[in-house]
């Protein structure tokens, strides 16, 4: 194949960069700008005003909220991996009518918009004393991310040879031992996808956190940003600094682990 | 033989134990609240009081006459179908553009996918710096060309369209990645054979690429549609449903009715209506797409 000149790609590539990078450029530009600097956000800040980040950390309690989000994300993902892979094993291995029913039920749950059962879910959590607790938010997030985890694990376990299970059964392993000793160690690649996809969802969740974490010491990152933006209308620069700090962890994780993120996305969409 | 089948049954029942953690979570956090929600939706409960009484189906009748519900319903459909349309058309175009090898394409892919990592709520606040009336980056450009500054979010329909666009562009990377994977699954020999027969590039796209991409279309459309119909965070950050009720989606309206108007019974009815709507729309759309898939092969 001979190489054609590809000059027409350049303007499109530039347009893509402008559209997708300008919001981030504006965010960085506001975050480093002194509140006294009144020039356009498009221009570079006259000086790098690090104080915005200092006030974001001290007033906005961004670090505390990052710690809270980390606890919630790690807790949720751990439970998701265990409960998801467990439920996926019988789904992938046995074709009974009961399992088919369980499967369509789980896919149905994927479609429930959280807000549609918000009122009653909130009152259930009040009864269970799950409001303003880590476990209340963790278990709620786990429940709504679980269908995705089960879906990913089921597809993956189906691709593992059944001979593995049969050999284990002949050697006298029950299903429980087969799962933990034979199947579980094979699940690393798909576990990476589950962790990445559901982890980003949990980190970025706003709707559930808004109702469950009302105590300001338990705020997650989106909640801290929301309250910072609504309170300090005078200091938008510090709010921008807070937003910049808040998006750094997932964006950096993506830049370093791109391959896994893309693979996870494709796994979740295509059987 | 008999012993064998007994063992099999034991095995099967032991395997059902694996469902327990998932089923417990679903029962406590989805099924029970769902049933309780149906009950609450037939009362006039305000969300915290001990006193409430049954009002029958009055909340549901109110749904059909409530102007705010009608606006939110129309907006929800625009958020859902508008985002889906943009994300798939643009996602496919970007995938086709980035499917061929050229320098810098992996950087471009990363740039397009990166916004998917950002919390939609924070994306809303970032867009605030572009859309705000005073000092907004967009108005700087408008004024550079001699125009008048625009209050972008002051007009309901315009706010709805802008937020649809923001949501679509933030998540277009998902469709792009799905389509890229789909394109890479099409064997190159089809194109080689078509080229030998003198089939023009556009016809190749029409008769090879599109039909074989169908499974990718199905999954991209479903993912985008459900995401768009549930839209909440961006609206909450940019307009809180305003001006007035003009840019509410059904999701933000549930929140407003529960915590703002303290009408938990009615909020519950709107919520269940939203669930039904998403259920019906997504099953119709998947059925249509699946039927087309059979036609192709």
Residue with tokens 């995401």: B227
pLDDT surpassing 50 at residue A2:
no
Residues B127-133: what's their mean pLDDT?
89
pLDDT surpassing 60 at residue B60:
yes
Residue with tokens 């949720």: A76
Q: Do B140 and A13 touch (CB under 8 A)?
A: no
**Is residue A168 very low, low, confident or very high in pLDDT (cuts 50, 70, 90)?**
confident
Question: Shortest CA distance to B285 belongs to which of B207, B219, B227?
Answer: B219
Pick from A27, A115, A120: CB nearest B274: A115
Q: What gap in Å lies between CA A107 and CA B26, rounded to an integer?
A: 12
- State the average pLDDT for chain B: 88
Contact residues on chain B for A102, CB-CB shorter than 8 A = 19
**Is residue B4 very low, low, confident or very high in pLDDT (cuts 50, 70, 90)?**
low
Q: Do B108 and A17 touch (CB under 8 A)?
A: yes
Span A177-200, pLDDT tens digits: 888 888 888 898 899 889 998 999
Percent of chain A with pLDDT over 90: 32
Q: Do B126 and A86 touch (CB under 8 A)?
A: no
Candidates B10, B129, B145, partner chain A, best to mutate (most A CBs within 10 A): B129
Helices (H), B132-263: 137-144, 156-184, 188-196, 201-204, 210-212, 214-229, 233-238, 250-255
Phi/psi-derived region of residue B248, left when phi > 0, alpha when psi is between -120 and 50, beta in every other case? beta
Contact residues on chain B for A17, CB-CB shorter than 8 A = 108, 111
**Residue B98 CB-half CA count within 13 A:** 27
Helices (H), chain B: 2-16, 20-26, 32-40, 58-65, 67-77, 83-99, 105-113, 120-131, 137-144, 156-184, 188-196, 201-204, 210-212, 214-229, 233-238, 250-255, 264-296
First to last CA, chain B: 43
Span B187-238, pLDDT tens digits: 888 888 998 998 888 898 888 888 888 888 888 898 889 889 989 999 999 9
Q: What gap in Å lies between CA A103 and CA A88, rounded to an integer?
A: 9
Q: What gap in Å lies between CA B44 and CA B266, rounded to an integer?
A: 7
Q: Do A120 and B108 touch (CB under 8 A)?
A: no
Say if CB B130 and CB B138 are below 8 A apart: yes
Residues B67-79: what's their mean pLDDT?
94
**All domains in chain B, ordered by first residue:** 68-296 (1.10.3720.10)
Query: Which positions ≥6 away from B226 have C-beta within 8 Å?
Result: A110, A111, B278, B282
Question: Shortest CA distance to A28 belongs to which of B169, B132, B116, B129?
Answer: B129
Q: What gap in Å lies between CA B125 and CA B132, rounded to an integer?
A: 10
Adjacent-strand bridge partners of B138: none
Give me the total of CB pairs closer than 8 Å, taking one residue from chain A and one from chain B.
264
Q: Do A119 and B274 touch (CB under 8 A)?
A: no
Q: What gap in Å lies between CA B75 and CA B82, rounded to an integer?
A: 10
The 3-state DSSP class for residue B208 equals: helix
Say if CB B264 and CB A126 are below 8 A apart: no
ipTM of predicted assembly, 2 dp = 0.89
**Is residue B69 very low, low, confident or very high in pLDDT (cuts 50, 70, 90)?**
very high
- Going from the C-alpha of A205 to that of each of A88, A219, B183, the distances in angstroms are 25, 12, 32
pLDDT surpassing 90 at residue A232:
no
As a whole number of angstroms, the longest Cα–Cα distance in chain B is 88
pLDDT surpassing 80 at residue B48:
no
pLDDT surpassing 80 at residue A271:
no
pLDDT surpassing 90 at residue B126:
yes
**All domains in chain A, ordered by first residue:** 60-269 (1.10.3720.10)
Q: What gap in Å lies between CA A22 and CA B273, rounded to an integer?
A: 38
Contact residues on chain B for A219, CB-CB shorter than 8 A = none
**Is residue A4 very low, low, confident or very high in pLDDT (cuts 50, 70, 90)?**
low
Q: What gap in Å lies between CA B95 and CA B90, rounded to an integer?
A: 8
Q: What gap in Å lies between CA B151 and CA B158, rounded to an integer?
A: 10
Helices (H), A111-204: 118-127, 134-158, 163-170, 175-177, 188-204
Q: What integer pLDDT is reported at residue B1 of this predicted model?
A: 44
Candidates B41, B48, B134, B271, partner chain A, best to mutate (most A CBs within 10 A): B271
Contact residues on chain A for B226, CB-CB shorter than 8 A = 110-111
Q: Which residue of B has its CA nearest to A82?
A: B21
Say if CB B124 and CB B237 are below 8 A apart: yes
Alpha-carbon Rg for chain B in angstroms:
25
Q: What integer pLDDT is reported at residue A111 of this predicted model?
A: 76
pLDDT surpassing 50 at residue B297:
no
Residues B92-96: what's their mean pLDDT?
94
Question: Shortest CA distance to A201 belongs to which of A83, A109, A106, A72?
Answer: A72
Contact residues on chain A for B177, CB-CB shorter than 8 A = 262, 265-266
């Amino acid at each position: 194949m001979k190489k054609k000149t590809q000059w027409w790609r350049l303007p499109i590539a530039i347009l893509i960069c402008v559209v997708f990078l300008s919001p981030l450029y504006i965010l960085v530009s506001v975050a480093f700008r002194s509140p006294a600097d009144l020039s356009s956000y498009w221009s570079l800040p006259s000086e790098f005003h690090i104080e915005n980040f200092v006030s974001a950390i001290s007033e906005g309690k961004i670090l505390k909220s990052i710690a809270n989000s980390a606890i919630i994300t790690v807790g949720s993902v751990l439970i998701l991996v265990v409960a998801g892979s467990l439920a996926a094993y019988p789904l992938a291995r046995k074709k009974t009518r009961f399992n088919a029913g369980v499967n369509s039920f789980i896919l149905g749950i994927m479609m429930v918009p959280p807000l549609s059962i918000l009122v009653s879910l909130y009152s259930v959590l009040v009864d269970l004393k799950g409001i303003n607790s880590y476990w209340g938010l963790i278990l709620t997030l786990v429940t709504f991310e679980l269908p995705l985890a089960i879906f990913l694990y089921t597809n993956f376990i189906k691709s593992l040879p059944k001979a593995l299970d049969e050999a284990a059964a002949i050697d006298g392993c029950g299903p429980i031992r087969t799962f933990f000793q034979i199947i579980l160690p094979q699940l690393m690649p798909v576990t990476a996808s589950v962790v990445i996809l559901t982890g980003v969802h949990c980190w970025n969740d706003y709707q559930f956190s808004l109702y469950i974490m009302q105590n300001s010491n338990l705020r997650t990152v989106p909640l801290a940003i929301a309250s910072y933006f609504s309170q300090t209308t005078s200091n938008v620069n510090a709010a921008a600094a807070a937003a910049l700090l808040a998006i750094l962890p997932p964006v950096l994780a993506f830049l370093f682990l791109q391959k896994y993120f893309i693979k996870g996305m494709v796994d979740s969409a295509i059987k | 033989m008999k012993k064998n089948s007994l063992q099999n049954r034991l095995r099967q029942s032991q395997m059902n134990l694996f469902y327990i953690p998932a089923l417990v979570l679903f029962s406590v956090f989805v099924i029970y609240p769902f049933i309780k929600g149906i009950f609450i939706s037939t009362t006039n409960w305000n969300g915290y009081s001990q006193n409430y009484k049954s009002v029958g189906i009055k909340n549901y009748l109110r749904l059909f006459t409530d102007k705010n519900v009608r606006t939110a319903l129309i907006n929800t459909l625009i958020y859902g179908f508008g985002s889906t349309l943009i994300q798939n058309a643009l996602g496919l175009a970007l995938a086709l553009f980035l499917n061929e090898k050229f320098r810098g394409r992996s950087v471009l892919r990363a740039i397009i996918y990166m916004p998917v990592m950002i919390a939609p709520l924070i994306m809303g606040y970032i867009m605030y710096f572009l859309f705000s009336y005073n000092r907004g980056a967009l108005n700087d450009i408008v004024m550079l060309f001699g125009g008048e500054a625009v209050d972008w979010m002051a007009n309901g329909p315009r706010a709805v369209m802008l937020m649809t666009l923001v949501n679509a562009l933030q998540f277009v990377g998902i469709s792009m990645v799905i389509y890229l994977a789909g394109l890479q699954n099409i064997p190159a020999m089809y194109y080689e054979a078509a080229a030998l027969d003198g089939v023009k590039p556009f016809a190749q796209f029409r008769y090879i690429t599109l039909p074989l991409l169908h499974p990718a279309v199905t999954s991209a459309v479903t993912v985008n549609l459900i995401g768009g119909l549930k839209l909440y965070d961006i609206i909450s950050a940019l307009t809180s449903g305003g001006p007035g009720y003009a840019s509410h989606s059904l999701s933000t309206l549930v929140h407003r009715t529960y915590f703002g108007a303290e009408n938990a019974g009615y909020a519950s009815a709107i919520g269940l209506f939203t669930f039904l709507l998403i259920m019906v729309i997504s099953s119709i759309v998947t059925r249509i797409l699946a039927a087309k898939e059979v036609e192709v092969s």
